[in-house]
């Protein structure tokens, strides 16, 4: 008869331990860990991005007194990379005071954002694209949305009481703005937005009639009385002319230009071999351009972004329309797989197909910026996007081509042109139906020689000056129409 061997306590514990490890080990192995954390503070909104090799699930809620945003992420264990988030919060962040990170319970990490003011958060995930893996994004918007005009008023760049400014002393060599002194005609409006029409003609300025027209005198048999009346009438008209010149209502309206530095934030754009990034180069050029334009009387500038943060393409167009921009100029730096590719280009919108295969490829690449930068698809206004496309008019495109030609010619004076004519394609950022819009590819950042130019202060200044010359020449021949004051 065979006897079973007794089971010792040590054997039981060993087996039990192995069983316990077999349960715990997979859980520990499956627990996800953050690969990278990034913070993009800006006046528009602050974005916090957590990058991971798998999709993260998160819940969030707001707490008052004091204002806090609490985020709980499932399937996550605290690691050194996630702890770096604490140090990444800058003291000048408009919305976040500080963040606390902790392991709330097994496989659940809690983030607590102490806020400087009330926010309207958007929390969403992004699928892998480009060089990025899965991303969990927190966008912290102000509870009260910032109006672009209000922002310009606060910066002293917009007269809140009027959309015009006093006429300067004429100086034809410094600005074409004098060409707009005749702009007294009401512009047709659609949805309370001015629509520029190439066929519209400018009304004559009655003030110029008073100043320039010779006085017509009634015939008087008394020569002395006639001469006296002549002198009195001339004096009166001269006095009226001076009064009109000095009166506040002798105004010409401000020209508003929207400058759009491409990419930003999560979307670096193209990169050069020397390590330069498109988003940095074009922002630097845009800031130089802004300063030069604002040195011209009667011109002001709205930047779609003034720092390193991401702005969706649709939002860029909406910002320009909200300030009733007269021109929209998007600034980029091209790239290609072959480093020999070089030269500057100017593009406008196409109602039909692209003017070349290269233009079509480039438009698709630029339109993919929303995928790279990370758009919350739940908040995108698909109806507005289709309206912008449908309302894009032949007149707008024709005006854009006029602008594009003069700007391209001026840029050609300081850099080789990739193509000697303005090209067309379906760029999403050029679809404002009522604003002449161009996209400038300043140079190929993928070309080492042109990359060196793009990062050179002197060349950036030359480039900005060339664009300004093109804008001035455009307005000299195409003065902007008058429009109603913005309430």
Residue-wise pLDDT for 118-145, tens only, equals 999 999 999 999 999 999 999 999 998 8
The pLDDT-based confidence of 296 (bands split at 50, 70, 90) is: very high
Most confident of 29-38, 187-196, 211-220: 29-38
Residue 201: what pLDDT? 35
Residue 349 in this model has a pLDDT that exceeds 80: yes
Residue 262 in this model has a pLDDT that exceeds 80: yes
Cβ density class 160-190: b for 16+ within 10 Å, e for less: eeebbbebeeeeeeebbbbbbbbbbeebeee
What number is the average pLDDT over the span 426-435? 90
| Better-scored residue on pLDDT, 298 or 149 | 298
Domain ranges across the chain:
36-142, 253-477
With 0-12 / 13-18 / 19 or more C-beta atoms within 10 angstroms meaning exposed / middle / buried, residue 22 is exposed
- What are the pLDDT digits (tens) for 308-338? 999 999 999 999 999 999 999 999 999 998 9
Lowest mean pLDDT among 212-226, 298-312, 454-468: 212-226
Average pLDDT taken over every residue of the chain: 78
- What are the pLDDT digits (tens) for 447-468? 999 999 999 999 999 999 999 9
Residue 5: what pLDDT? 52
pLDDT exceeding 70 applies to what percent of the chain? 69
Residue 38: what pLDDT? 98
| Better-scored residue on pLDDT, 359 or 246 | 359
| Better-scored residue on pLDDT, 100 or 28 | 100
Residue 72 in this model has a pLDDT that exceeds 60: yes
Residue 186 in this model has a pLDDT that exceeds 50: no
Name the one residue in this structure whose structure tokens are 């809140």. 160
- What are the pLDDT digits (tens) for 264-288? 999 999 999 999 999 999 999 999 9
Residue 29: what pLDDT? 47
Residue 73: what pLDDT? 95
Residue 203 in this model has a pLDDT that exceeds 60: no
Residue 195 in this model has a pLDDT that exceeds 50: no
CATH class of the structural domain 253-477 = alpha beta
What number is the average pLDDT over the span 355-366? 84
Looking at domain 36-142, does it have CATH number 3.40.50.2300?
no
Lowest mean pLDDT among 34-43, 88-97, 240-249: 240-249
CA dist 86 to 48, 111, 309, Å?
11, 10, 19
Residue 52: what pLDDT? 94
Most confident of 109-118, 137-146, 183-192, 386-395: 109-118
Residue 356: what pLDDT? 79
- What are the backbone angles phi and psi of residue 17, rounded to the nearest 5°? -65, -40
Residue 415 in this model has a pLDDT that exceeds 60: yes
| Better-scored residue on pLDDT, 235 or 439 | 439
Residue 27: what pLDDT? 44
């Amino acid at each position: 008869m065979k006897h079973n061997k007794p089971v010792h306590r040590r054997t039981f514990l060993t087996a039990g331990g192995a069983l316990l490890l077999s349960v715990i080990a997979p859980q520990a192995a499956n627990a996800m860990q953050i690969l990278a954390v990034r913070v993009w503070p800006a006046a528009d909104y602050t974005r916090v991005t957590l990058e991971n090799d798998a999709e993260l699930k998160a819940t969030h809620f707001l707490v008052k007194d004091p204002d806090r945003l609490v985020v709980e992420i499932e399937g996550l264990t605290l690691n050194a990379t996630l702890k770096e988030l604490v140090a990444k919060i800058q003291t000048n962040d408009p919305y976040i005071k500080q963040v606390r990170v902790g392991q709330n319970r097994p496989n659940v990490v809690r983030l607590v954002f102490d806020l400087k003011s009330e926010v309207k958060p958007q929390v969403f995930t992004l699928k892998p694209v480009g060089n990025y893996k899965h991303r969990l994004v927190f966008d912290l918007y102000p509870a009260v949305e910032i109006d672009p005009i209000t922002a310009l008023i606060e910066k002293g760049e917009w007269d809140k009481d009027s959309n015009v400014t006093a006429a300067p002393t004429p100086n034809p060599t410094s600005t074409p703005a004098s060409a707009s002194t005749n702009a007294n005609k009401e512009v047709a409006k659609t949805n309370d937005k001015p629509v520029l029409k190439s066929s519209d003609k400018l009304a004559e300025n009655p003030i110029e009639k008073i100043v320039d027209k010779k006085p017509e005198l009634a015939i008087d048999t008394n020569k002395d009385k006639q001469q006296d009346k002549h002198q009195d009438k001339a004096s009166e008209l001269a006095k009226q002319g001076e009064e009109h010149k000095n009166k506040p209502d002798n105004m010409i309206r401000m020209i508003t230009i929207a400058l759009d530095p491409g990419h930003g934030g999560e979307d670096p754009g193209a990169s050069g071999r020397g390590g330069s990034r498109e988003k940095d180069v074009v922002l630097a050029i845009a800031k130089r351009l802004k300063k030069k334009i604002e040195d011209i009387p009667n011109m002001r500038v709205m930047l779609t972004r003034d720092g390193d943060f991401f702005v969706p393409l649709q939002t860029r167009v909406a910002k320009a329309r909200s300030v009733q921009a007269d021109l929209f100029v998007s600034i980029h730096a091209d790239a290609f797989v072959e480093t020999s590719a070089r030269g500057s280009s100017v593009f406008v919108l196409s109602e039909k197909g692209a003017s070349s295969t290269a233009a079509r490829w480039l438009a698709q690449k630029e339109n993919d910026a929303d995928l790279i930068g990370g758009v919350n698809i739940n908040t995108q206004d698909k109806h507005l996007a289709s309206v912008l496309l449908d309302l894009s008019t032949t007149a707008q495109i024709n005006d854009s081509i006029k602008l594009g030609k003069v700007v391209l010619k001026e840029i050609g004076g300081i850099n080789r042109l990739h193509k000697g004519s303005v090209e067309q394609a379906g760029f999403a950022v050029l679809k404002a139906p009522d604003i002449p819009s161009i996209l400038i590819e300043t140079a190929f950042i993928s070309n080492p020689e042109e990359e060196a130019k793009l990062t050179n202060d002197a060349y950036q200044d030359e480039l900005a000056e060339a664009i300004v010359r093109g804008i001035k020449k455009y307005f000299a021949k195409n003065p902007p129409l008058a429009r109603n004051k913005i309430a």
